A = this chain, B = another copy of it.
């Protein structure tokens, strides 16, 4: 069975806003969607060609002097395909967490190793959290004062009122997720330190007994 090719819909979704080049799409994703999505050129350009072949988008080559821009415009069929995908049930991604795989195996290792692993994870999560919170406050401010910050203009476009809210809410998903991971770190670190002191007491007992 063919897997659903999600890159197609990511592209189609952005093209449903306005015509764009592959480069535009890449930048837009990096700037605005990177907390839940990413694309590489190696995926982007071939998929764009495919979309054209299937009549879901059309390509117009524009020239500015010697510079060429391949601008892609979504077709009616493209819009249909996109809306169809939007309404289809969303399959849950199969998880594969390298961190958790390591953590699990730390059960057979000295406790200090588990602690080190979790602390490293905690630092990563804090960094992520900072980024999320910064974006969130910019956006909240924008919504409150009803102005679209310049750096967000390309992301939310003109018809912005609702889109801004959805953007904030999608960010909020990330914020809550990272908070949960940090809470887990606290809990776990506490548990592992208790375990460590239990072990060292047991060792002392053996030593003196």
A residues with a Cβ closer than 8 A to B are 6, 9-10, 13, 16-17, 33, 35-38, 82, 85-87, 89-109, 111, 113-114, 117, 120-121, 124, 128, 156, 159, 162-167, 169-170, 172-173, 176-177, 179-181, 183-184, 187-188, 191, 195
Contacts and interface: CB of A to CB of B under 8 A. Distances in A.
A36 B97 contact: yes
B176 A180 contact: yes
Contact of A96 (B36, B102, B121): B36
A109 B102 CA distance: 42
Contacts of A172: 184, 187-188
Contacts of A101: 6, 9-10, 13, 33, 36-37
A89 B120 CA distance: 8
Nearest 5 interchain pairs by C-beta = A107-B166, A180-B180, A36-B100, A107-B163, A176-B180
